[in-house]
A and B are shown apart, each in its own frame.
Chain A
């Protein structure tokens, strides 16, 4: 079974802190994704990566950055957390073809106070 793990299920941070969310997949997938999920808005893509050290902005990249130094790991960084970044963050991975589904981690619920 494909497994996507995220470093924390719940996280509470203060405004202005630098926050790291880690995601690891164990199936040698090419593509990895970060989404945020908010009520009524569904999933919105923050960043994705189709190869090591490669990244592409999604729909809402402002206030976020990413790092992919190794194929299995994709990190989301909140440079200076703000209260409007309180959300559920979902990581996903996927092999390289259009027909393939995404595999999701369990999510990290981040609260910024």
Chain B
């Protein structure tokens, strides 16, 4: 079946630190991959996406590369800010359905 596994949180980093949140997936066929972000009290917002192998999605300094050989889509940012504190969800899409990871909470301290 289809599923997404992402690293457990919570993650706490100092401002300007490097961020990696791991995400691996299991899917039949060739899924599209997404990272969503949820700020406190809000719904999910799309952060970035990649629709085929070796694509790199990027937005607001975050990036992730669709790696078919390792079935991974790890989220990275070179220098996090306090405003990046949120919950991050990895997701895949096949056909009509989406499959979400359980989310990783990130707190960035000044």
Contacts and interface: CB of A to CB of B under 8 A. Distances in A.
B69 interface: no
Contact of B42 (A48, A99, A107): A107
Contact of B102 (A40, A56, A104, A106): A40
For the residues of B in contact with A, the DSSP-based class is strand
Interface string A26-50: 0000010100000011110100101
A90 interface: yes
A48 B101 contact: no
Interface of B: 31-32, 34, 36, 42-46, 49, 51, 89, 93-98, 100-103
In the A-B complex, the 3 residue pairs with the smallest Cβ-Cβ separation, listed nearest first, are: A42-B102, A104-B43, A104-B44
13 contacts: A31-B96, A33-B98, A42-B89, A42-B102, A43-B44, A45-B97, A45-B98, A56-B96, A98-B32, A99-B32, A102-B46, A104-B45, A107-B42
